[in-house]
């Protein structure tokens, strides 16, 4: 080892220690969701590097065998690798253990015992005390603990290996939807877990954060994200909000500063997403970066990035725990990507901004009963990495015909900057409600103090209508209205809008009216129950799905309605806005990958992420596409990322943003890759489950790559 190598190694060790990464542990595996508890998605492996990545080839492929045809299923799992074993999940939410070097299956666990199921799972959690080795994960409303070696349930955990997530939320929620798509995190012997919940106008569970004893499954603490009387933040809601509102959930997972004993997360909006007249106020702790005492669940600090959210601008991922150098000193900080394309960089210990944040006036809502917040927090312009404004001036330039079509439609819409409030007149928002950064989050290189983040950059439109139907309405019209406000956010009117959510129109042709009604009443698999809907409302949704009831007139005075009195206005859905050929209506790039210098607080480079094959065939440069899933970054100078709708897996030069290698998959890689080493050989693995929000074909494969 020469002097230069020793110096570089010493610098790396010093840097990793400062970030809370233990350099004495060989960085050869990927034992935690997002690589480590800091959420870096970083590996110090460099066998695969910028000089040889072009030689990367397929080492093995593993197919789970349980995807649904069309776009009805997906895989979003970031697999973990521990002691040469890889743990991953399937489209049907099975948990599978493989030999990491070969892809050979060792065991699988099916929580649904052979029944068809679907939904989303983004990963699992590993715990050991040296003798006992466990994998914890969630399917449906159950938290499971399995023996990592055998795949058998651990009988002393909960009830025969299972904890019911409906229990312990300090409110009766059994008629609602409670699950967790993203894995929890381990602090000592605590398993800290968030939740995925309903977001529509129908009743939803609260998004309280909980910690469970990893040995027994006993609930040890709870943090009320919708504060109860006497708790900090209670006055930022309407008086009875805590009793009946839901959401404000940490659905994107957690990061952990183990030395300080602080766990961090981002929270989502409260229900209902698009009308908040029954939750007047700033609404803490919805849309907050939260720092909690990991041992007790007590609040350490919070920072709210959207006040009184009426856009569905959840914080979709936990912050990356990073360092920032200022005035020659390293500051332990965190970097929080968002759906708005705003990057907030805060002191990890105090929550104080590292770079100034300005409260900017935004337009007021015109919807009766709404009390939107007059300002919203904006980081510096240099840390806004997605589009922030859409009008006639940034309409698509793909063709004169496409531009003319879009401009004509804009005559009946409101356009402008981000945070336009939803209104009766359709309004266009950029980035869209699933835009900016979603659950995939960012990767962090602790040596260069660079953040790597991908983003979607498309426009979308929304409008509001009265929830209470007209005096006389057809059953089909009522069903369509209810479907738009309750179902379309996941299932869409055409392609599904949520991962794992099939087209209900397709399913409706295969099921009887009685079967559909029972699913609405009782739920099924990852489909929540809608038991709070009245019989009239369920029958109307069934009629719409079956394309019936067009001639059946209903008298408003005779109808039973479940939420129209409390939620007087509902959205028509998150409506895609495309040109006549199905491409986004704004100028490209429609998806980006960016490298951000955290010391300087600025974007170093930004490139389009993904391409449309039709436009590529015309000789056009990459436009970027809507993307789902995150990046991984390595000491080899590489960024590995799938995410784009062109269904390709890429290796990108971290220094320049240039693609050095790509592989065409048979389905979209809407997941975050992992890299690891076995017997001196480095591998990179990615899930290619397709489907999901991008709405491309479904798949069931994990692809693993290595050098020859």
Bridge partners, residue 81, by sequence: 30, 86
* Mean pLDDT score of the chain: 92
Q: According to the model, what pLDDT value does residue 504 have?
A: 66
Bridge partners, residue 674, by sequence: 685
218: closest CA among 134, 143, 130, 298? 143
134 phi and psi, to 5 degrees?
-130, 150
Judged by DSSP in three states, 158 sits in strand
Q: Yes or no: say if 321 and 334 are a contact pair by the CB < 8 Å rule.
A: yes
Bridge partners, residue 162, by sequence: 144, 159
DSSP letter string, 74-103: ------EEETTEEEEE-TT--EEEEETTT-
Cα separation of 345 and 594, whole Å? Answer: 16
Q: What length is written for the chain?
A: 708
- What proportions of the chain, in percent to the nearest 5, are helix, strand and coil? 15, 30, 55
Cα separation of 194 and 180, whole Å? Answer: 6
Q: According to the model, what pLDDT value does residue 527 have?
A: 67
Q: Which residue has the tokens 């060790």?
A: 13
Q: According to the model, what pLDDT value does residue 522 have?
A: 76
Q: According to the model, what pLDDT value does residue 449 have?
A: 98
Q: Is 261 exposed, middle or buried (0-12, 13-18, 19+ CB in 10 A)?
A: middle
Q: According to the model, what pLDDT value does residue 520 have?
A: 84
Cα–Cα separations (whole angstroms), residue 68 to 61, 64, 74, 627: 19, 11, 9, 21
- For 223, the token pair is 């943090």
Q: According to the model, what pLDDT value does residue 502 have?
A: 59
Dump strand ranges (E) for 518-647.
553-555, 569-571, 575-576, 591-597, 602-608, 632-634, 638-641
Helix (H) or strand (E) holding 288: strand 288-293
Q: According to the model, what pLDDT value does residue 162 have?
A: 98
Q: According to the model, what pLDDT value does residue 481 have?
A: 83
Q: According to the model, what pLDDT value does residue 6 have?
A: 35
pTM for the model stands at 0.93
Q: Yes or no: say if 67 and 699 are a contact pair by the CB < 8 Å rule.
A: yes
Number of Cα atoms under 13 Å in the Cβ half of residue 262: 24
Bridge partners, residue 688, by sequence: 701
pLDDT tens-digit readout, 24-55: 344 589 999 999 999 999 999 999 999 999 99
Helix (H) or strand (E) holding 690: strand 681-690
Query: What residues of the chain score a pLDDT lower than 50?
Result: 1-18, 20-26, 499-500
pLDDT tens-digit readout, 599-628: 999 999 999 999 999 999 999 999 999 999
Q: According to the model, what pLDDT value does residue 677 have?
A: 98
Domains of the chain: 468-562 (1.10.760.10)
- The CA angle 230-236-241, to the nearest 5 degrees, is 75
- For 646, the token pair is 């062109």
Cα separation of 653 and 707, whole Å? Answer: 17
Q: Yes or no: say if 708 and 55 are a contact pair by the CB < 8 Å rule.
A: yes
User: What is the percentage of the chain residues whose pLDDT exceeds 70?
Assistant: 93
Q: Yes or no: say if 444 and 450 are a contact pair by the CB < 8 Å rule.
A: yes
């Amino acid at each position: 080892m020469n002097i230069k190598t020793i110096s570089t190694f010493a610098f790396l060790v010093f840097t990793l220690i400062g970030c809370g990464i233990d350099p004495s542990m060989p960085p050869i595996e990927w034992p935690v969701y997002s690589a480590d508890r800091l959420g870096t998605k970083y590996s110090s492996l460099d066998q695969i590097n910028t000089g040889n990545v072009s030689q990367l080839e397929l080492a093995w492929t593993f197919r789970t065998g349980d995807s649904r045809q069309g776009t009805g299923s997906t895989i979003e799992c970031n697999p973990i690798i521990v002691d040469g074993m890889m743990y991953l999940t399937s489209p049907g939410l099975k948990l599978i253990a493989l030999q990491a070097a070969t892809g050979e299956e060792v065991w699988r666990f099916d929580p649904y015992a052979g029944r068809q199921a679907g939904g989303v799972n983004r990963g699992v959690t590993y715990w050991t005390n040296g003798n006992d080795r466990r994998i914890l994960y969630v399917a449906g409303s159950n938290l499971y603990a399995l023996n990592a070696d055998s795949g058998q349930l651990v009988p002393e955990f909960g009830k025969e290996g299972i904890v019911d997530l409906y229990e312990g939320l300090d409110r009766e929620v059994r008629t609602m939807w409670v699950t967790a798509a993203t894995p929890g995190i381990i602090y000592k012997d605590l398993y800290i877990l968030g939740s995925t919940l309903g977001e529509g106008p129908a009743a939803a569970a609260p998004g309280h954060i909980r910690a469970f004893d990893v040995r027994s499954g006993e609930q040890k603490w709870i943090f009320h994200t919708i504060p109860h009387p006497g708790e900090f933040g209670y006055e930022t809601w309407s008086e009875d909000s805590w009793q009946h509102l839901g959401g404000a959930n940490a659905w994107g997972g957690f990061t952990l500063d183990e030395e300080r004993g602080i766990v961090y997360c981002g929270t989502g909006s409260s229900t209902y997403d698009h009308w908040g007249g029954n939750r007047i106020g700033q609404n803490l702790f919805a849309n907050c970066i939260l720092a909690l005492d990991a041992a007790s669940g007590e609040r350490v600090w919070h920072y709210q990035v959207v006040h009184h959210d009426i856009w569905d601008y959840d914080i979709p991922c936990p912050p990356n725990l990073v360092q920032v150098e200022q005035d020659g000193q390293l500051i332990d900080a965190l970097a929080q990507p968002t759906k708005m394309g705003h990057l907030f960089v805060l002191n990890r210990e105090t929550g104080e901004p590292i770079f100034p944040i300005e409260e900017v006036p935004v337009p007021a809502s015109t919807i009766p009963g709404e009390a939107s917040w007059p300002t919203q927090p904006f980081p510096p312009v240099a840390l806004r990495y997605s589009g922030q404004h859409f009008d006639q001036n940034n309409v698509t330039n793909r063709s004169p015909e496409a531009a003319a079509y879009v401009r004509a439609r804009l005559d009946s819409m409101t356009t402008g900057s981000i945070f336009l409030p939803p209104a009766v007149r359709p309004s266009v928002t950029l980035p869209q409600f699933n835009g900016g950064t979603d659950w995939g989050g960012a990767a962090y290189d602790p040596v260069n103090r660079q953040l790597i983040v991908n983003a979607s950059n498309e426009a979308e439109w929304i409008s509001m209508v009265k929830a209470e139907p007209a005096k006389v309405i057809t059953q089909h019209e009522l069903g369509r209205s209810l479907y738009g406000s309750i179902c379309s956010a996941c299932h869409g009117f055409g392609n599904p809008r949520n991962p794992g959510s099939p087209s209900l129109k397709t399913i409706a042709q295969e099921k009887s009216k009685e079967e559909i009604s029972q699913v609405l009443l009782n739920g099924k698999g990852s489909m929540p129950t809608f038991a709070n809907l009245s019989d009239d409302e369920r029958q109307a949704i069934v009629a719409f799905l079956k394309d019936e009831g067009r001639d059946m007139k209903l008298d408003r005075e005779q109808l039973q309605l479940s939420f129209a009195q409390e939620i007087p206005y509902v959205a028509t859905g998150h409506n895609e806005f495309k040109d006549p050929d199905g491409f986004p209506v704004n100028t490209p790039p429609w998806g980006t990958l960016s490298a951000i210098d955290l010391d300087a607080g600025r974007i170093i480079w930004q490139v389009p992420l993904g391409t449309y094959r039709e436009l590529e065939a015309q000789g056009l440069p990459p436009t970027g596409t809507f993307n789902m899933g995150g990046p991984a970054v390595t000491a080899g100078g590489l960024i590995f990322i799938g995410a784009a709708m062109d269904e390709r897996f890429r290796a990108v030069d971290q220094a320049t943003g240039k693609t050095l290698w790509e592989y065409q998959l048979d389905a979209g890689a809407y997941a975050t890759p992992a890299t690891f080493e076995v017997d001196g050989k480095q591998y990179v693995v990615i899930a290619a489950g397709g489907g999901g929000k991008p709405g491309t074909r479904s798949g069931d494969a994990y692809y693993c790559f290595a050098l020859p």
